[in-house]
Structure 1
Amino acid sequence: MWTGSLINHAGAFVVPFFAYYLTGRQGFGPAQVGLVATLYGAGGVASTVAAGAAADRFGRRPTLLVSQLAAAATTLAVGLADGFGSIAVLAFILGFTSYGAAPVLSALVADVVPEPDRKRAYALHYWAVNLGFAAAPVLAGLLAGHDYRWLFAGDALTTALCAVLIAWRVPEVRTANAGTAEPTSGAGLLHALRDRALLTLLPAVFAMVLVYTQYQVTQPLAMRAAGLSPAVYGLVSAVNGAVIVVFQPLVARLADRCDDARLLAAGALLLGAGMASTAFDHSAAAFAVSVAVWTLGEAIAMPTSNAVVSRLAPPGLQGRYQGLYAMTWALAAVAAPLAGGWTFSRFGAAPVWAGCLVLGALAAGGAVVLRNSPLRQPTSSPQAA
């Protein structure tokens, strides 16, 4: 799974250069690019819960293969399409198929890794994802220099390769379901939506992802307002990947010694404070320090929250729980650019950074509340829902 995720995300060539492709090759305007990006995100929101439920009902490997192979085919189709209408429709389908892998992979980690080791496993998986993301823009730039079509071909190939590798090497393990009837999708989701601990965790995750996503939206605007060039922005952004690459294995080892709720609270506070400190940044070095602080929060909080979800999930509902978790990420990823961009343009930077600090504090408060909730799965059958 680690190798498959590394290959898949190292080949995530389309997303970093999609806006360049749409404006340069297709001639789209800013409004059209924004709508295509929104449709891609909407497809992701729609797919996560469906993929999680399918993983519980039909198995991890079949769901992953269908999702990833469909994503590979759709990626090729987008690269061959011309015109706003066809690309807009395909962008929604691409989001739907691409996002579906996340809850399935998270459920697979829970299947094959014993519960005491899951925090470390999710941290190492997160490390693989970020290693891939760090390499993807560099490789994509080389391919785009020859022909944009190579971006779509390479992305499709690595997506398919990830699915085949995991299907070949990772067994289908759902021993928790033995001897229990398979819950219907509706009953399983109702059970999840009545889980107070999960309903405490998901808003905290939503708040953290809202803060985290500002690095793609308002932080570049702030750096531009400070007179820094795109090249400097690229170097500062590389600090995120460098910190993850260096410190994520260390965080993975330390996570086993710490309480989940305290890790979540610490990560949320570092995320909020690090992003809020951008308000005082005027030089590349200062922005780099802010990036390093919130990246540490990301490295602590994100894998921990994933592990907590896996622990909360009762037998037979791991995929659905992970689907709701992935949907929270997708919703925040859609909402963050809209909220951050609108606030920045209408009221300036200060309310954005103050909002990040408040959101980080609220997420930390949610983690404190979660500490008083049971973090193990309930013993009652989900069919009771």
Structure 2
Amino acid sequence: MITISSSWRAMPRPALLGLFLFFCAGFADGALVPFFPLWATGEAGIPTGAIGLLFGCYAGGELVAAPLIGGIADRIGRRPVLISSSLGVGCGFIALFFVHGVAATATVLLLTGVCESVLHPTIMTAIADVTAPSAHPRWFSMARVSSSAGQILGPACGALLALISLSTVFLAAGGVLIFGGIVMLAAFAETIGGGHAVDSDQDEEEGLSALLPAFRDGRLAKLLAWVVLFEISGNWIEAIIPLYARDAGMLSPSGIGTLFAYAAALTVGLQMLVSRFAEARPAVWLAAGAGTSTIAAFALLAASPAPLSLIAAVSLCSVAQMLVGPLVPTAVNALAPPARRASYMAASSVAVDLKDSLGPSIGTALYALAPRLPWIAGIPLVAIASLGLGAAIGRASSPSTSATDWSTGADAIKPEELRTLVAEPTSE
């Protein structure tokens, strides 16, 4: 016990606080996402076809804000961004408890998305600031574990609160993030610089092009394009299963919350084990494995909405995310110049925001046409996207594309270093 305690104390404090904030964000997402469609159609009187639009407003706020403020942590520091964004998202979730109607809900979600646009990428940036590059895959895996731990308690708490009122889950989700912001205010120390030399020319560069490196770095743009395609269909699990299970009469709101809590528990229990297993495997192999798992999940859901099919499907999708989850931020961080680390992470978050916007919109529209259509249409989409994702990371590590940083003209990370970071992480 003493050895374990000493080991934790030896870890960088900002990184540990980043894991804690990931836990808070995971709790909020877990408490809100599974119950939002049920609240919208049940208590708010919102048509099923409009649910995707509301999800799109939340992601739309992130998409609008990310090009403008996505790289702000590179200029004003990580600490003020983490504090203000966590408090802003928390207040936005609490505001949902008091609003009614499509217009008011859409407005609140849009403003909340603006605050959320910098939360996750800045946490990842702060972790990368204070940890060695060879340890980034392990830390990003621990970030997923922390988020998933929150997603265990979030749906479990939401399932209890749903017995009172579905809208009360917004209070719990917002309260935890506000608490996280207060902890950041009291305990988080600035990490900007992270011990790296900052390029003065890059520091002086301003404007939209400086904040959207995807427009300037072709390798990053291609990688994120495949990430978007892969994640759009994966998002249908969260967005559609609550409606699919309820309409089939298979699960109650509490049962749906329990199902998502189980999926998060699976990630907590297996993420580090899967990451260790994947250390010696190339990125193409990992992407193909993730695609195969997701396709199998969709095939089960298309065959039947029975509880066993739902459990097996969320299990397979959890495994898919365990395989590719740490892979993408590790590759993005490897491509990023130190002075633009937050900007590159913000560009990566734009891909996630597109997934959160397009995924529910497309998925719920397909579901409105036919309950099984999203799963049938998703199978070829996942097959193509997983192969493209693996190939994109493979090209990023090839000598022809890794010799020079196209966005700055500076020396980029060497191919063998990228392979080590993405596919063969070593312990510190």
Q: Choose the corresponding residue for 2:226, options 186, 196, 204.
A: 204
Contact kept? 2:240, 2:367, Cα under 8 Å: yes
| Corresponding residue of 2:331 | 308
Q: Is the 8 Å Cα contact of residues 71 and 342 (structure 2) preserved in structure 1? A: yes
- Find the partner of 1:352 among 375, 388, 391: 375
Change (3 A) 1:378 1:189: farther
Q: Counterparts in 2 of 1:18-37, with a 5 A limit? A: 18-21=36-39, 30=48, 35-37=53-55
Secondary structure at the counterpart of residue 316 of structure 1: helix
Backbone CA RMSD of aligned residues: 3.3
Contact 1:121 1:252 (C-alpha < 8 Å) held by counterparts: no
- For structure 2, list consecutive stretches of 5 or more residues without a partner in the other structure: 1-17, 411-428
- Could you tell me which residue of structure 1 aligns to residue 192 of structure 2? 173
2:111 aligned with 1:111:
no
CA distance in 1: counterparts of 2:218 and 2:407, whole angstroms: 14
In the TM superposition, what is the alpha-carbon distance from 1:21 to its structure 2 partner?
4.9
CA 1:72–1:291 in structure 2 vs 1: closer, same or farther (change >3 Å)?
Answer: closer
Q: Indicate the percent of aligned positions where both proteins have the same amino acid.
A: 21
Among 343, 359, 364, the residue aligned to 1:336: 359
Q: Larger helix proportion, structure 1 or 2?
A: 1
How many Å apart are 1:46 and its aligned residue?
Answer: 2.0
Q: TM-score normalised to the size of structure 1?
A: 0.85
3-state SS of 1:159 partner: helix
1:325 to 335, 348, 357: 348
Q: What is residue 421 of structure 2 aligned with on the other side? A: none
Q: TM-score, normalised by structure 2?
A: 0.77
Q: Could you tell me which amino acid in structure 2 is paired with residue 270 of structure 1?
A: S
Matched ranges for 1:132-143 at <5 A: 132-143=150-161
Deviation at 1:173, TM superposition (A): 3.3
1:186 aligns with 2:205: no
Measured after TM superposition, the shift of residue 116 of structure 1 is: 0.7
- Partner Cα separation in structure 1 for residue 249 and residue 50 of structure 2: 28
Deviation at 1:160, TM superposition (A): 2.4
Question: Residues 242-288 of structure 1: CA distance to partner in whole angstroms, max 9, x if unpaired?
Answer: 32122112123334333344323322332233333433346422332
Q: Name the amino acid aligned to 2:198.
A: A
Residue 143 of structure 1: how far off its partner (Å): 4.0
Task: Say whether the 8 Å CA contact 2:34–2:238 is kept in structure 1.
Answer: no
| Paired letter, 2:318 | T
Change (3 A) 1:215 1:194: same
Residue among 24, 34, 37 paired with 1:7: 24
Distance 1:139 1:229, change over 3 A: closer
Q: Gaps (5+ residues) in structure 1? A: none
Contact map agreement 1:343 1:352 (CA 8 A) in 2: no
Contact 1:51 1:63 in 2 (8 A): no
What's the offset of the Cα at 1:33?
5.4
1:52 alignment partner in structure 2: 70
How many positions carry a matched residue from both structures?
385
Verify: 1:270 aligned to 2:293, yes or no. Answer: yes
Aligned to 2:139: 121
Cα distance change on mapping 1:194 and 1:265 into 2, 3 Å:
farther
The whole-number CA distance in structure 1 between the counterparts of 2:46 and 2:365 is 22
